[in-house]
Amino acid sequence: MSNLLAFLLAYAGMTVLSLSMRRHYQTACPHGSGFMLKYQRPARIIGLLFLLLALQLSIVHHDAGTGSVMWFGHLTIAALTIAIMHSYRPLWLGHFFHRLILVGLLLIISLFNLVWM
Amino acid sequence: MKATFRQSMAWLHTWAGLILGWVLYFMFVTGTAGYLDTEIDRWMQPELPVASEAKNDDRRAIQLGLSWLNKQAPDAQRWFISLPQDRNSPYLRALWSDADGETGDDQLDIASGNPLNARDSAGGQLLYQMHWQLHYLPRVFTNWFITIVTMFMFIAIVTGIIIHKNIFKDFFTFRRGKGQRSWLDTHNLMSVLSLPFQLMITYSGLIFVMFIVMPLLIAAFYGGDNGRDRFFEDIFPDSVQIDKAEQPAALVNVNQLIASAESHWGKNNIGYVDINYPGNAHARITFGGKNSQSPLRNSPKLIFDGVSGDLLHEIPARSSAARATRDVFLGLHEGLFAGPFLRVLYLLSGLMGTLMIASGLILWTSKRRQRLTKNRPASAKGVALVERLNIGTIIGLPIAIAAYFWANRLLPLDFINRAEWEAHVMFIVWSVMFLHAAFRPFQKAWIEQSGMAALVFLLLPVLNALTTDRHLAQSLPAGDWVFVGFDLSMLALGLFFAGLMFKLTKQQSAKVDVLASRKPVQV
């Protein structure tokens, strides 16, 4: 489960990072308020923070060696998923439900981990 | 020379990538399959029972192995018992070799100690080994050739990073349906996103061969004559060879050594037992720990005198820092420590590398085909050659690998040299694919080979159902995940190629429509 959580964190981080880029933001949120672009720098820091959280979780759950190897894998596959979504389903990425599902999943799995670990 | 640094790097990237791109593609495809080597082994020997990865009793397993070897090869030079532990070694195996170079390798039933009988097959191991040994070629040649190819790969990666203008800006960019632009995006996306993996795999690939390609480095510190031997003794003290003694001597009771190993590593943590000169006064018994659960490839070892039972050496998993660095890189490359989740990540990264090379090769022709229509008809032959080689490699190789699996199921069980013939079938089919690509028009060849690939992969689960009783309807409810996974992966590959075929067909008919609607040119 914590592997999944680490992946979701990487995925969330990549989502935020991609939406902080003008071109991707505009195709994903054509009617957006431009919030992400206005606060581009904080958005990017939060995105990176998510990625670091994924690293931390991976290392805690495995050891430093295996954990960091897995982290690179998470980053690769998360970024690839986001890139494919930006090309095929950009509106999904900008959609409110995408955020809702993502946050929901993160919460559920975190709780699951807290209870079972 | 080219005008700017970036231009000359682009030139280097293009040509280093092209010249050995097909070999690299072969290495990536077979190497990626290698991440599932033992799973493929198990699919290719369906007679074997579903390996239970439940905890086994080391003591009992070693005794079973010893009594089998005692019966089978009492006069062997070396016995080797590999204990069942995880996906890397799912069965109890007993191996031996004697002074005349004869060898034996049997998988034993962990309950009865009887050999498990299965068809003769080269398995996933051969596919995996091909990614650095190739096939049919002398070892010395392949060692050097593979080194050069890997070096080219490394150059291609580094120059690729240099010439990529917008690594961060285009990080998530994939513009589809735009012809050459889309291929470039695919190439960039695959390589940039999996860059850590590609750098690691190529660099560590070079570390595998460093003693072959940099012998002078050893000579500089250890001298030329037998410096190489002394170097290996220093770095790999556990592999020092001893000579056989004249007089025979009874082997020590192994139970006593197992107890000693357990006091070092805890209960049931033995990975293998390696016995040199059993029944001889110079017998040596090496106990190895279980497979490492981290990227550091080594496992600890205990070396005992095989007659007195004295502990001679204790070799920790991690010795010197330099050796540990090497072991970590090799461990990262092989990924043996990876559990199911990480294994999937390895597999996907390998596939991305494969796609990176394929898209690079396709990009080369698509760029030049555009230029051809404008001027320079002389280079048309070169572009045509590359295009044909691309088809035969990019689609032809997967078809050949599917043929390897087909051969495994269809060759009669008592076929002479059966395992070798599985590989022969693979290479015969591959040659046919090259011939096909050579004689058909490009567009048709791409479409037909994609269709062929779709067919052979989609029908593999059907073939499996017809020739064994471990098909999806049986393996799914039984939780036989190796067979479920294999069959589903084959279906997925088949669907991928089918999708490719439909896409190419649609593209071609669109082109024909455009041509047909054009007005004839008045001369």
What does pLDDT average to over chain B? 90
So what's the pLDDT on residue B374?
63
pLDDT band at B27 (very low <50, low <70, confident <90, very high): very high
Mean pLDDT of A31-46: 91
Mean pLDDT of A85-108: 89
Is the predicted pLDDT of residue B293 greater than 90, yes or no?
Answer: no
Is there a contact between A77 and B337 if contact means CB atoms under 8 Å apart? no
% pLDDT > 70, chain B = 95
pLDDT in tens, B64-107: 999 999 999 998 999 999 999 888 888 999 999 998 889 999 99
Is there a contact between A65 and B294 if contact means CB atoms under 8 Å apart? yes
Tell me which H or E stretch contains B90: none
Is the predicted pLDDT of residue B321 greater than 50, yes or no?
Answer: yes
Is there a contact between B348 and A86 if contact means CB atoms under 8 Å apart? no
Nearest to A69 among B169, B172, B342 (CB): B342
Q: What is the dihedral of CA B238, B243, B247, B248, to 10 degrees?
A: 40
Query: CA of B368, closest CA in chain A: separation in Å?
Result: 26
So what's the pLDDT on residue B245?
84
Mean pLDDT of B384-393: 95
Q: What is the dihedral of CA B43, B45, B48, B53, to 10 degrees?
A: -40
Which has the minimum average pLDDT: A106-115, B65-74, B419-428, B447-456? A106-115
Mean pLDDT of B404-430: 96
Q: In B, which residues are within 8 Å of A14 by CB distance?
A: 172
pLDDT in tens, B303-314: 999 999 999 888
So what's the pLDDT on residue B375?
64
pLDDT band at B497 (very low <50, low <70, confident <90, very high): very high
Strand partners, B95: B80, B105
Highest mean pLDDT among B211-225, B286-300, B417-431: B417-431
pLDDT in tens, B147-193: 999 999 999 999 999 999 889 999 999 998 888 899 999 999 999 99
Residues of A with CB under 8 A from a CB of B: 3, 14, 17-18, 21, 23-24, 63, 65-66, 69-70, 72-77, 79-80, 82-84, 86-88
% pLDDT > 90, chain B = 67
Query: CA of B401, closest CA in chain A: separation in Å?
Result: 26
Mutate to test the interface with B, among A87, A89, A93 (most CBs of B within 10 A): A87
Q: How far is CA B380 from CA B14, B365, B385, in A?
A: 18, 10, 9
pTM, to two decimals: 0.92
Give me the amino acid identity at B221.
F
Is there a contact between B172 and A82 if contact means CB atoms under 8 Å apart? yes
Which has the minimum average pLDDT: A70-84, B224-238, B439-453? B224-238
Q: How many CB atoms lie within 10 A of CB B222?
A: 17
Q: Write the CB contacts of B257 (distance below 8 Å, at least 6 apart in sequence).
A: B285, B287, B302, B304, B309
Is the predicted pLDDT of residue B127 greater than 70, yes or no?
Answer: yes
Give me the amino acid identity at B509.
S
So what's the pLDDT on residue B523?
43
Is the predicted pLDDT of residue B373 greater than 80, yes or no?
Answer: no
Is the predicted pLDDT of residue B463 greater than 70, yes or no?
Answer: yes
Task: Please check whether residue B332 touches A, CB under 8 A.
Answer: yes
Query: CA of A69, closest CA in chain B: separation in Å?
Result: 8
ipTM value for the complex:
0.93
So what's the pLDDT on residue B517?
64
Is there a contact between A83 and B193 if contact means CB atoms under 8 Å apart? yes
pLDDT band at B519 (very low <50, low <70, confident <90, very high): low
d(CA B279, CA B285): 11
Mean pLDDT of A31-60: 92
CB under 8 Å, gap of 24 or more: what pairs does B383-388 form?
B384/B442, B386/B18, B386/B361, B387/B442, B388/B434, B388/B437, B388/B438, B388/B442, B388/B445
Is the predicted pLDDT of residue A44 greater than 80, yes or no?
Answer: yes
Strand partners, B79: B96, B275
Is the predicted pLDDT of residue B347 greater than 70, yes or no?
Answer: yes
Is the predicted pLDDT of residue A54 greater than 70, yes or no?
Answer: yes
Q: Return the higher-pLDDT residue of B437 and A32.
A: B437
